[in-house]
Structure 1
Amino acid sequence: MPFVDLHSTDDFASIYYTTNSVFGNVGGFDPEKPTVCILHPTFLDSSWLYPQFNDPRLDSEYNLIAFDMRVSGKSECRHSGRHDSWVDAADLASCAQLLRLSPFHILAMESTSINCALRFAALFPEMCLSLTLCNIPPPTELQWFYTAYDELIQTWCFAEDLESYEHVAMESVTFCFGSDTAPDLRDDLIAYWEVTMNPRRRLRVLEGANMVLNRSPLPAEAYPHIMAPVLIIHGELDEKCPRKYAERMAHELKGVLYTVKGGGGYLGLLPGTASIVNQVYTKFLSRLPRARSDSWSQTLTLEERMHDALATLEQITGDGRSLRTRDPTSSLSFCCLPDEVIRHQTEGLQAMHKGQTLAYVPLSPAGRPIRRYSERPRDDWFESDTEGMSYAGGGRFFTEPAMRTDKQLPMPKSEPISPTEGRLRRGTFSPMSVEKLVIKGSMAKVVTGSQPTLHKLFL
């Protein structure tokens, strides 16, 4: 399998990539065709980009390449509290230079990929031919989404049985894709998460969640550095990414905004909207000058080019930190998180590491999901219908017309959190909160027992 190893004195990452060439590597690229780099959606990996890789409009006309970000898919890394979107952009640039990729077009899906693509285009404009962004996220997470996902991540990382894990995974499907997600797609998502993001791999889960929940807005000084043509594709009904932020981004980057009628989250993945995204994208590329994909020979070495990028980053951030003095061979040198955030994220990862190898794994001894979510036993008296209304059994309370509605309840309206709000969120656990004491027996025995240990209970 093709990997790119990035190593330095303080960091190591093995970045997996896949292509549409015969042998799955860049050596099989057709130099006559332009190259398109596709960045996968949040909490997924490059294997979920099959709607693009299997579309002949893209597969036959372009060289396609996709990387798994350092805490996604088959990629591996040394976990760090210094991981942010600037680090992802540095990873992408290092991989492109080591693979000697010619300048390429970028198609970014959802929050983490879009933040990576914007920062890559600002620091390495000569490598970016065009920029296409699907579903522009708010500068920081919306308050209701931030709070909900904070709770979900805690339950996700410390699930103790299959039912608990399936419940939190189903809640995540609802938040990301909506309550009307097709059963087959829902089953595939939950099965994927059971294999790649189970409680025994909770360091990856927390580090990936930190990328979403603790992100910082892109500085206004970065926009003038983005010179590539920009296309923004936005879902009309995506409640976690309101359209006003896509309009604002299109104005800042002087780009084109295309709204997908009836589209929600994860436009490039859902069967109903993926074909529309591919059609709009190929028409956009057809209007640009056609580039070749010859092996690119840079005049600067990798270290020299990354040093120049650090100097540009220091100019963009303007926070007084001497970024250009950092090690240019380390992607972590591009981190722009405040010191307090880095410290708390590091403490959270250290706390998560404790007991990780003994955490619950919702897999069979063969390493496969035990069952499909839709095949779970449905013998519980409590159920919930698609509108979120609870009912018991299948009696009149469920079939009563007054209790049914054809319209999904809207998500609560809220504004993004401030850049400093929630930095000490409960998701970054303290060591005391992770230590969990399981007490069995009567409540009287618990209350009259060892009182000093009660503060260790994790609720």
Structure 2
Amino acid sequence: MPFVDLQSEDDYASIHYITNSPFANVGSFDPEKPTVCILHPTFLDSSWVHAQFNDPRLDAEYNLIAFDMRVAGKSHARHSGKHDSWVDAADLAFCHQALALAPMHILALETNSINCALRFAVLFPEMCLSLALCNAPAPTELKWIYTAHDELVQTWCFAEDLESYEHVAMEAVTFTLGPGTPPDLRDDLIAYWQCTLNPQKRMRVLEQANIVMNRTPLPAAAYPHITQPVLIIHGDSSEACPRKYAERMAQDLKAVLYTVKGGGGYLSIPPGTASIVNQVYAKFVSRLPHVRSDRVKPALTLAERMKDALGTLEAVTGDANVRSRDPLSPLSFSCLPEEVVQQQSEGLRAYRKGQTLAFLPLGPTGRPIRRYSERPRDDWFESKTEGMSYAGGRFFQEPNGRTPNKAHSGDPISPDQGRLRRGNGFTPSSVEKLVIKGSMAKVVSSQPTLHNLFL
């Protein structure tokens, strides 16, 4: 399998990638075709961009490449509290240099990929020909989503039986794709998460969640550096990514905004909206100047180019200490405050405790024990017609049992609010409290809702 190994004094990552070339590597790219890099959706990997790889409008006209981010899919990396979207952008640049890729168009799918793509365009403009962003997120996470993510992640990582895990995974499907997700797609998503993001891999879950929940806005000084053509494709029914933020980003970037009627979360995955995304994107790229994909030796050495990128990052952020960092380490590009790095590191250490002995929702063959749609329907997790389980309490309820009014909670959190929650959240003591002991009947009788369980 193709991998790019990134090694430095304080970091190690092995980044996996796939291509549509005959021999599954960049050496067999057609130099006559432009190159398109697809960044996969949050909490998924490059295996979930098959709707783009299998579409002849893209596959036949472009060299396609997709990387698994450092804690997703087949990629592996040393876990770090410094990991943010600037680090993801540096990873992408290191891979671009190592593979001697030509300048490429970027198709970024959902929150983490979009934040990575924007920062990549700022620091490495000669590597990026254009940007296409699907479902532009808010600068920081929305308050109601922050709370839901907080509860979902902790419940997900410390599930102790199959029913508990399936229940929280179903909540995650509803949260990401919406309540109308087709059963087959829902089953595939839950099966994927069972194999790749189960409680025995909870450090990967937490690190990916940290990137989403603890993100910081792109500095205003960075926007003038993004001079590439930009397309924003936005679903008008996405509750997690309200349209007003896409409109604001389109104005800041002087981008073209295309709205997908009825489109919700993860536009690139459901067949109907995925086809629309591919069509709009293919038309967008076809109107740009044609650029060949000849592999050429970079004019600067890797250390020199990354040193220049650190200089740009210093100018954008105003941090005078950035330029002096190690240019050969992707972690040098992290822009998280020191207190956040420390809190994320503490959370990762807490989640590491007992990880290898955690519940594994797989059979002896390493495959899911059953499909979600094949589960018994007479247990306490069975959903009623109104969407409530017998246990009561969904992750999107307030303590009084009502669904939160997103019209009043659709504002982003402030950085101070995020730091406050982070400081009181992922600590060893709080992790211990999440392990529910005893029979399920006792849990139900003693706890009115799952929502209150983690407050």
TM over 0.5: yes
Q: CA deviation at 1:296?
A: 2.3
- One-letter amino acid of the structure 2 residue matched with residue 334 of structure 1: F
| Superposed CA offset, 1:103-128 (max 9, x none) | 00000000000000000000000111
What's 1:146 paired with? 146
- One-letter amino acid of the structure 2 residue matched with residue 310 of structure 1: L
- C-alpha separation in 2, matches of 1:177 and 1:413: 22
The 8 Å contact of residues 17 and 68 in structure 2, kept in 1 or not, is answered as yes
CA RMSD of aligned residues (A): 2.0
- C-alpha separation in 2, matches of 1:116 and 1:19: 20
- C-alpha separation in 2, matches of 1:188 and 1:265: 16
Note closer, same or farther for the CA distance 1:440–1:288 as it changes in structure 2 (3 Å cut): closer
Q: CA deviation at 1:236?
A: 0.8
Note closer, same or farther for the CA distance 1:417–1:69 as it changes in structure 2 (3 Å cut): same
Instruction: State whether structure 2 residue 5 is matched by structure 1 residue 5.
Output: yes
What's 1:388 paired with? 387
SS, match of residue 217 in structure 1:
coil
SS, match of residue 423 in structure 1:
helix
- C-alpha separation in 2, matches of 1:5 and 1:306: 16
SS, match of residue 419 in structure 2:
coil
Note closer, same or farther for the CA distance 1:381–1:81 as it changes in structure 2 (3 Å cut): closer
- C-alpha separation in 1, matches of 2:454 and 2:354: 14
- C-alpha separation in 2, matches of 1:74 and 1:41: 15
Q: CA deviation at 1:440?
A: 6.4
The 8 Å contact of residues 163 and 381 in structure 2, kept in 1 or not, is answered as no
The 8 Å contact of residues 345 and 428 in structure 1, kept in 2 or not, is answered as no
| Superposed CA offset, 1:201-245 (max 9, x none) | 000000000000000000010000011100010001101101111
What's 1:421 paired with? 417
What's 2:397 paired with? none
Q: CA deviation at 1:95?
A: 0.1
What's 1:94 paired with? 94
SS, match of residue 257 in structure 1:
strand
Note closer, same or farther for the CA distance 1:316–1:389 as it changes in structure 2 (3 Å cut): same
TM-score by length of 1: 0.90
What's 1:341 paired with? 340
The 8 Å contact of residues 195 and 369 in structure 1, kept in 2 or not, is answered as yes
- One-letter amino acid of the structure 2 residue matched with residue 422 of structure 1: G
Matches within 5 A, 1:285-304: 285-304=285-304
2:430 to 433, 442, 450: 433
Matches within 5 A, 1:106-145: 106-145=106-145
- One-letter amino acid of the structure 1 residue matched with residue 418 of structure 2: G
Instruction: State whether structure 2 residue 231 is matched by structure 1 residue 235.
Output: no
- One-letter amino acid of the structure 2 residue matched with residue 327 of structure 1: D
SS, match of residue 74 in structure 2:
coil
SS, match of residue 131 in structure 1:
strand
Q: CA deviation at 1:286?
A: 1.0
- C-alpha separation in 2, matches of 1:138 and 1:203: 25
- C-alpha separation in 2, matches of 1:419 and 1:23: 46
- C-alpha separation in 2, matches of 1:127 and 1:59: 21
SS, match of residue 16 in structure 1:
strand
| Superposed CA offset, 1:385-420 (max 9, x none) | 46425689xxxxxxxxxxxxxxx9985542010022
What's 2:157 paired with? 157
The 8 Å contact of residues 380 and 389 in structure 2, kept in 1 or not, is answered as no
Note closer, same or farther for the CA distance 1:363–1:383 as it changes in structure 2 (3 Å cut): closer
Matches within 5 A, 1:224-303: 224-303=224-303
Gaps of 5+ in 1: 393-407, 442-456
| Superposed CA offset, 1:145-184 (max 9, x none) | 1101100101001000000000000000000000110000
What's 2:210 paired with? 210
Note closer, same or farther for the CA distance 1:351–1:382 as it changes in structure 2 (3 Å cut): closer
- C-alpha separation in 2, matches of 1:84 and 1:200: 23
| Superposed CA offset, 1:303-337 (max 9, x none) | 1000000000000001x341010000000000000
- One-letter amino acid of the structure 2 residue matched with residue 344 of structure 1: Q
- C-alpha separation in 1, matches of 2:385 and 2:418: 31
Note closer, same or farther for the CA distance 1:111–1:194 as it changes in structure 2 (3 Å cut): same
- C-alpha separation in 2, matches of 1:306 and 1:148: 37
- C-alpha separation in 2, matches of 1:439 and 1:3: 42
Note closer, same or farther for the CA distance 1:50–1:382 as it changes in structure 2 (3 Å cut): closer
- One-letter amino acid of the structure 2 residue matched with residue 272 of structure 1: G
Q: Percent identity?
A: 73
- C-alpha separation in 2, matches of 1:327 and 1:283: 41
SS, match of residue 194 in structure 2:
helix
Note closer, same or farther for the CA distance 1:440–1:169 as it changes in structure 2 (3 Å cut): closer
The 8 Å contact of residues 130 and 230 in structure 1, kept in 2 or not, is answered as yes
Note closer, same or farther for the CA distance 1:323–1:79 as it changes in structure 2 (3 Å cut): same
SS, match of residue 422 in structure 1:
helix
What's 1:356 paired with? 355
Q: CA deviation at 1:422?
A: 2.6
Q: CA deviation at 1:429?
A: 2.1
The 8 Å contact of residues 151 and 454 in structure 2, kept in 1 or not, is answered as no
| Number of residue equivalences | 428
The 8 Å contact of residues 128 and 228 in structure 2, kept in 1 or not, is answered as yes
Residues 21-30 or 427-436, more deviating: 427-436
- C-alpha separation in 2, matches of 1:272 and 1:410: 29
- C-alpha separation in 1, matches of 2:126 and 2:381: 57
Q: Which has the larger radius of gyration?
A: 1
The 8 Å contact of residues 170 and 190 in structure 1, kept in 2 or not, is answered as yes
What's 1:105 paired with? 105
Gaps of 5+ in 2: 392-402, 440-452
SS, match of residue 207 in structure 1:
helix
| Superposed CA offset, 1:417-452 (max 9, x none) | 0022132436842122334688769xxxxxxxxxxx
- C-alpha separation in 2, matches of 1:163 and 1:11: 37
TM-score by length of 2: 0.91
The 8 Å contact of residues 433 and 458 in structure 1, kept in 2 or not, is answered as no
The 8 Å contact of residues 40 and 113 in structure 1, kept in 2 or not, is answered as yes
Residues 159-168 or 418-427, more deviating: 418-427
- C-alpha separation in 1, matches of 2:406 and 2:112: 22
SS, match of residue 290 in structure 1:
coil
Note closer, same or farther for the CA distance 1:329–1:413 as it changes in structure 2 (3 Å cut): same
Note closer, same or farther for the CA distance 1:150–1:326 as it changes in structure 2 (3 Å cut): same
